[in-house]
Amino acid sequence: MTMTKDDEIKLEDMAANTDDDDGQESTIIHDNCDLGKPAPDEWFKLYNLNGKGLNGFLRSLVAKRKDATGQSQPYLITGTDDFKRKCRQKIRPTQYVRVAYGITTGKRLFIWPVVEVKDIADCSNNWHLTGWEIANSALTRWTQISSDKPRMRYIHGDLDKQGDVPKLDVYTNPPKELNYQTAINKAFRGRIVKDETHRIYSEAGSVIKSKVDSPFFKKKVAKNGEQK
């Protein structure tokens, strides 16, 4: 796949952190970020960027499409609100998400596109609802997420001994060499749609309006109904 300047991955300077393991100094280089929610056996937290909770994460669209090799991959659709509305019409299905950034106790960094839930009381999809609730909890507590397929929902795990996890800065603040923007670029590996020039948008075709959408047609139907 050919990358443009807009969706290419820019490698930032890598910084090193050190910790002790049996008296030996080791270097941890944060140069990778995975895409997707944590595994069922992982404890994780989400970074609370600027103290805004889930609202502090980018609101965007996600759609699955085949890449240049024919593999189905998630694409992140950003850009203006008008562009995203156009994408909702041309590229289906799509979902509004909050692009959450987090870390596991094993120091694995990840980007998790959490399906947005506007109104919890009005949400009928248990996968979306429980995922949203678990993501909210992970902003302040070490959390687990696993699937309950028979009930079509996620199971929320909460670490009993929260204080046993070391108080490391990387657990509270993203590493400088892998800030939020860089993490998104690395996780999506350039699969970011920002405008109408992207292949995913141009290959989606056009939306043709039916005549039933025309106000003149609606008036004609209404008039004929009155005559009967």
- For every residue of 43-56, DSSP letters joined together read -EEE--GGG-GGGG
Residue 54 included in any domain: yes
125, two tokens? 């999809």
pLDDT mean values, one per 10 residues, the chain (228 residues): 47 36 57 94 97 95 86 91 90 93 97 93 92 98 97 96 96 94 94 88 68 59 59
136-169: b or e for each residue (b if 16 or more CB lie within 10 Å)?
bbbbeebbbbeeeeeeebbeebebeeeeeeeeee
202 Rama sector, left if φ>0, alpha if ψ -120 to 50, beta otherwise:
alpha
**111 pairs with which residues across the strands?**
35, 101
Residue 5 included in any domain: no
**24 pairs with which residues across the strands?**
21
- Look at residue 9 in the predicted model and tell me its pLDDT: 37
Classify burial at 26, counting beta carbons within 10 Å of its beta carbon; exposed 0-12, middle 13-18, buried 19 or more.
Answer: exposed
- Look at residue 95 in the predicted model and tell me its pLDDT: 92
23, two tokens? 């008296």
- Look at residue 210 in the predicted model and tell me its pLDDT: 60
- Look at residue 223 in the predicted model and tell me its pLDDT: 63
Residue 152 included in any domain: yes
Residue 147 included in any domain: yes
User: Rounded CA gap, 20 and 152, in Å?
Assistant: 43
Question: 77 lies in which domain range?
Answer: 16-227
pTM of the model: 0.76
Number of domains in the chain: 1
